[in-house]
């Protein structure tokens, strides 16, 4: 069966009239109004990053600030040669891949429900989105109580676990509890982004595929998903970057016990608990660079031209 994909408008066939003087004046005014906020945002964003990059070049502890010493890239060498850094990186990447994959499947199912439902649409959509309105720390505490072996309900709901099973007593069960909390909290965000992409799929193409005799699965994989690739990329990109910086749920549910630390949590320990600004800043710079790598890989994997997706020249 042929794959039905919406194509971009050929620039040579673009018959839109040129911008009027009023339109150009309004665009110029808009840029002038936005400029101060943009400059302020760049200053607020850039200064901490440059400050962290500067501090990462020093052996600097707040417990002995007078002993600050320039060490160049030694902090980066220390971090990259430490097994704890790579263990936390594996934890972070594992959490990111599993949670985003599960959220993508469940979020797409929720998006289909919100898109197709014909009764009580407002109530159903609001019900699905409620978890995303809960503060992450509150969600973490709620799931910590849910997985508790003294007053939680998870052990009684799962037939294969004993009533006194301690989910936070070992590594894998602790990670499972953390990921369950993360998935419950952020799946609605994924479904919201996918719903926007689902609304862009042409009903005419779906009808044409149906007339051609396509089954529901064929319409899903040949029509719907190919035309949602840009929306799926945006949803995966946003959630992957967010999941890669996971901190709140780990802080609340395990405090990093049983080897459940993420890169963000390791950075927090170095800077806030141990006052090691030098190595902590180096870790934050490495975290920033790894986030850029994750974003680059995702964009390359999907190979989506957002200008084409918006049908712009």
User: Mean pLDDT across the chain, nearest whole number?
Assistant: 86
pLDDT the model gives residue 174: 93
Average pLDDT over residues 93-121: 89
Pair type for strands 58-59 and 69-70? antiparallel
3-36 pLDDT, tens digit each:
555 555 555 555 666 677 788 888 888 888 999 9
Q: Which residue has the higher pLDDT, 245 or 119?
A: 245
Residues 192 and 110: beta-carbon distance below 8 Å: no
Tokens 């719903």: give the residue.
Answer: 195
User: CA 187, CA 101: separation in Å to the nearest integer?
Assistant: 10
Q: Which residue has the higher pLDDT, 83 or 312?
A: 83
Residue 67 class from Cβ within 10 Å (0-12 exposed, 13-18 middle, 19+ buried)? exposed
Structure-block tokens of residue 66: 């007078």
The overall longest dimension of the chain from CA atoms, in Å, is 78
Q: Which residue has the higher pLDDT, 30 or 1?
A: 30
DSSP 10: P
Give CA torsion, residues 10, 14, 19, 24, to 10 deg.
Answer: -10
Average pLDDT over residues 274-285: 91
User: CA 166, CA 150: separation in Å to the nearest integer?
Assistant: 9
| Measured CA distances, 210 to 3, 55, 180, 195, 222 (Å) | 13, 61, 38, 21, 11
| Measured CA distances, 171 to 14, 115, 159, 176, 270 (Å) | 58, 39, 21, 9, 22
pLDDT at 223 over 80: yes
Strand ranges for the chain from DSSP E? 58-59, 69-70
Residues 146 and 168: beta-carbon distance below 8 Å: no
33-82 pLDDT, tens digit each:
999 988 898 888 888 889 899 999 999 888 888 888 898 899 999 999 99
Of 6-10, 100-104, 168-172, 304-308, where does mean pLDDT reach its minimum? 6-10
Q: Which residue has the higher pLDDT, 17 or 208?
A: 208
The contacts found for 223-226 with CB under 8 angstroms, 24 or more apart, are 223/3, 223/4, 224/198, 226/3, 226/4, 226/5
pLDDT the model gives residue 4: 57
Residue 303's pLDDT band (cuts 50, 70, 90): confident
pLDDT at 221 over 70: yes
Average pLDDT over residues 193-208: 87
pLDDT the model gives residue 313: 40
Residue 200's pLDDT band (cuts 50, 70, 90): confident
pLDDT the model gives residue 297: 93
pLDDT the model gives residue 12: 52
CA-closest candidate to residue 223, choices 52, 71, 50, 4: 4
Residues 312 and 238: beta-carbon distance below 8 Å: no
The whole-angstrom distance between residue 206's C-alpha and the CA centroid of its chain comes to 30
Residue 187's pLDDT band (cuts 50, 70, 90): very high
User: CA 70, CA 60: separation in Å to the nearest integer?
Assistant: 9
In the chain, % of residues over pLDDT 90: 42
Residue 186's pLDDT band (cuts 50, 70, 90): very high
Count of beta carbons in the 10 Å neighbourhood of residue 155: 18
Angle at 105 between CA 179 and CA 100, to 5 degrees: 40
Of 28-32, 114-118, 129-133, where does mean pLDDT reach its minimum? 114-118
pLDDT at 163 over 90: no
């Amino acid at each position: 069966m042929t794959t039905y994909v919406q194509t971009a408008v050929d620039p040579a066939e673009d018959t839109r009239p040129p911008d009027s003087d009023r339109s150009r004046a309004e665009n110029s005014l808009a840029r002038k109004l936005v400029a101060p906020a943009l400059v302020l945002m760049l200053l607020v964003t850039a200064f901490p990053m440059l400050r962290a990059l500067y501090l990462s070049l020093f052996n600097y502890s707040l417990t002995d600030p007078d002993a600050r010493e320039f060490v160049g890239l030694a902090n980066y060498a220390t971090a990259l040669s430490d097994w704890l850094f790579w263990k936390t990186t594996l934890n972070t990447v594992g959490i990111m891949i599993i949670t985003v994959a599960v959220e993508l499947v469940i979020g797409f199912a929720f998006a289909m429900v919100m898109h197709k439902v014909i009764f009580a649409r407002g109530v159903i959509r609001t019900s699905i989105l409620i978890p995303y309105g809960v503060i992450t720390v509150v969600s973490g505490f709620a799931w910590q109580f849910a997985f508790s072996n003294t007053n939680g309900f998870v052990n009684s709901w799962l037939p294969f676990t004993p009533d006194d099973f301690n989910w936070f007593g070992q590594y894998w069960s602790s990670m499972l509890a953390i990921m369950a909390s993360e998935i419950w909290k952020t799946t609605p965000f994924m479904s919201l982004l996918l719903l926007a992409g689902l609304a862009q799929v042409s009903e005419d193409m779906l009808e044409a595929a149906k007339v051609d005799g396509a089954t529901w699965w064929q319409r899903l994989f040949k029509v719907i998903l190919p035309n949602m690739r840009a929306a799926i990329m945006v949803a995966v990109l946003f959630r992957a970057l967010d999941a890669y910086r996971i901190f709140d749920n780990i802080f609340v549910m395990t405090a990093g016990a049983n080897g459940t630390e993420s890169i963000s949590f390791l950075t927090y320990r170095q800077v806030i608990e141990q006052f090691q600004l030098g190595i902590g800043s180096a870790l934050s710079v490495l975290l920033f660079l790894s986030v850029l790598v994750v974003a680059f890989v995702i964009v390359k994997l999907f190979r989506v031209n957002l200008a084409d997706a918006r049908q712009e020249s």
